[in-house]
């Protein structure tokens, strides 16, 4: 998608008057039988906050770019507005990735709350209505990434995110996180005593997401529910049979809801417990393979032990920039993918650069029967080359 197209898309977002209504019609206008199915023969390409290496994170444009680049799943973090509307946003505060500080009308909204046992000060999503959040514009998190799209895109709702996936011309999965549930349940109250997790699952059900992992129902509209909070995953298991992923933080960070250590939640005993509620884990990759002075150390046995408990492993986060690539990989993200896919044997990867992972997997996957024809193979190569010519 060129710069001009993205600007036109941004302008269309600005004139949307009804913020509660998705940008796109639901369900998708594409007939079910015409969709290319989700691939399940190789590790999943999980677009971390969309293609956020190229565009501001968790925006409609970032998710559309990720789909275009070949993502199997588009990943998002779900928080809430003051009025209980679920939104796609990573941080509980708006400061780092929006222009909230430039809005003088919100100057008195800065607060200090306790979030995961730490005092946090900023402009919190839970202190803004959806209408107010829609008046803000999103910006790139990292200063070394492309800044030209800053200020062009809105925060989107959970429903708008779902609409983007359902309107794709092929089957694209969603991978939403129940984000900071302890904090959200403390600050936002829904009618009839509903919890954050109730509203989260109700939204998925509203748009037809259901089915156990790899069932026919699931393959039609694939979804993983993820969270760092094990009690939220257990609670959600009583509401839906959709597959769930238990996210695992750094070794120094306890679980936000149960205050359990990294060592406890990665023990064989805990895996025996949690596998009754989840189909996999999502660890930070530097805990799977420790790093000292930017060099990889011998891998832990976490992947092997998780697999022994029939748990998939989807590590995070893979980024192309040299500052994120350990020296073993010679500043080459493809070498990193090679290591994690073929040596570590992981089942999915959260990446900021969906296109890079997709190209790597296309180049290294065995040719399918449809590629035995020389013409189709040449066409495939031409498409890959053309994507680089446009950069």
Taking only the tens place, the pLDDT of each residue in 58-116 is: 999 999 999 999 999 999 999 999 999 999 999 999 999 999 999 999 999 999 999 99
pLDDT, position 379: 55
Give the separation between CA 202 and CA 205, rounded to whole angstroms.
5
* Beta strand 280-283 pairing with 312-313: parallel
pLDDT, position 368: 43
Nearest to 183 by CA among 240, 124, 251: 124
Give the separation between CA 55 and CA 208, rounded to whole angstroms.
29
pLDDT, position 169: 96
Question: In the chain, what percentage of residues exceed pLDDT 70?
Answer: 85
How big is the chain, counted in residues? 391
pLDDT, position 371: 45
pLDDT, position 25: 46
Q: What is the DSSP letter of 370?
A: G
User: Quick one: pLDDT band at residue 245, thresholds 50, 70, 90?
Assistant: very high
pLDDT surpasses 90 at 180: yes
User: Quick one: pLDDT band at residue 366, thresholds 50, 70, 90?
Assistant: confident
Please indicate whether residue 17 or residue 150 has the higher confidence score (pLDDT). 150
pTM comes to 0.88
User: Quick one: pLDDT band at residue 370, thresholds 50, 70, 90?
Assistant: very low
Q: What is the mean pLDDT of residues 284-305?
A: 98
pLDDT surpasses 60 at 247: yes
pLDDT surpasses 80 at 13: no
Displacement of CA 172 from its chain's centroid (Å): 13
Cβ 220 vs Cβ 182: under 8 Å: no
* Mean pLDDT taken over the chain: 90
3-class secondary structure, 216:
helix
Question: In the chain, what percentage of residues exceed pLDDT 90?
Answer: 84
pLDDT, position 23: 45
pLDDT surpasses 80 at 266: yes
pLDDT surpasses 70 at 373: no
Please indicate whether residue 119 or residue 28 has the higher confidence score (pLDDT). 119
Q: What is the mean pLDDT of residues 258-284?
A: 98
pLDDT, position 34: 79
pLDDT, position 384: 60
Q: What is the mean pLDDT of residues 30-35?
A: 65
pLDDT surpasses 50 at 205: yes
pLDDT, position 342: 96
Q: Which two tokens stand for residue 297?
A: 């150390």
With a CB cutoff of 8 Å and minimum separation 6, the contacts of 308 are none
Phi-psi region of 184 (alpha: psi -120 to 50; beta: other; left: phi over 0): alpha
pLDDT, position 274: 98
The angle formed by the CA atoms of residues 64, 150 and 354, to the nearest 5 degrees, is 35
pLDDT surpasses 70 at 213: yes
Q: What is the mean pLDDT of residues 10-18?
A: 41
Q: What is the mean pLDDT of residues 359-387?
A: 64
pLDDT, position 200: 99
């Amino acid at each position: 998608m060129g710069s001009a197209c993205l600007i036109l898309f941004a302008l269309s977002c600005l004139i949307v008057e009804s913020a509660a209504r998705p940008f796109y019609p639901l369900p998708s206008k594409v007939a079910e039988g015409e969709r290319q199915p989700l691939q399940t023969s190789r590790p999943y390409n999980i677009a971390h906050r969309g293609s956020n290496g190229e565009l501001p994170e968790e925006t409609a444009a970032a998710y559309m770019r990720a789909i275009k680049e070949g993502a199997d799943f588009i990943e998002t973090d779900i928080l809430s507005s003051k009025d209980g509307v679920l939104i796609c946003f990573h941080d509980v505060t708006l400061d780092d990735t929006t222009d909230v500080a430039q809005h003088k009308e919100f100057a008195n909204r800065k607060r200090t709350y306790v979030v995961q046992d730490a005092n946090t000060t900023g402009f919190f999503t839970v202190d803004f209505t959806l209408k107010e959040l829609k008046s803000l514009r999103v910006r790139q998190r990292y200063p070394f990434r492309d800044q030209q799209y800053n200020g062009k895109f809105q925060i989107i709702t959970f429903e708008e995110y779902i609409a983007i996936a359902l309107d794709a011309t092929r089957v694209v999965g969603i991978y939403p996180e129940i984000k900071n549930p302890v904090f959200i349940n403390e600050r936002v109250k829904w009618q009839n005593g509903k919890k954050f997790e109730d509203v989260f699952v109700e939204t998925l059900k509203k748009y037809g997401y259901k089915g156990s992992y790899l069932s026919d129902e699931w393959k039609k509209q694939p979804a993983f529910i993820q969270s760092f909070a094990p009690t939220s995953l257990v609670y959600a298991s009583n509401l839906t049979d959709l597959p769930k992923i238990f996210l695992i933080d750094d070794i120094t960070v306890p679980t936000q809801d149960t205050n359990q250590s990294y060592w406890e939640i990665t023990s064989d005993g805990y895996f025996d417990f949690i596998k009754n509620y989840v189909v996999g884990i999502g660890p930070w990759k530097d805990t799977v393979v420790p790093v000292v002075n930017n060099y990889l150390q011998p891998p832990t046995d976490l992947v092997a032990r998780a697999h022994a408990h029939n748990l998939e492993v989807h590590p995070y986060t893979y980024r192309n920039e040299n500052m994120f690539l350990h020296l073993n990989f010679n500043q080459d993200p493809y070498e990193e993918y090679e290591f994690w896919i073929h040596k570590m044997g992981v089942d999915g990867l959260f990446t900021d650069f969906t296109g890079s992972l997709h190209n790597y997997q296309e180049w290294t996957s065995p040719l399918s029967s449809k590629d035995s024809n020389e013409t189709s193979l040449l066409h495939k190569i031409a498409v890959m080359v053309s994507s680089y010519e446009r950069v």
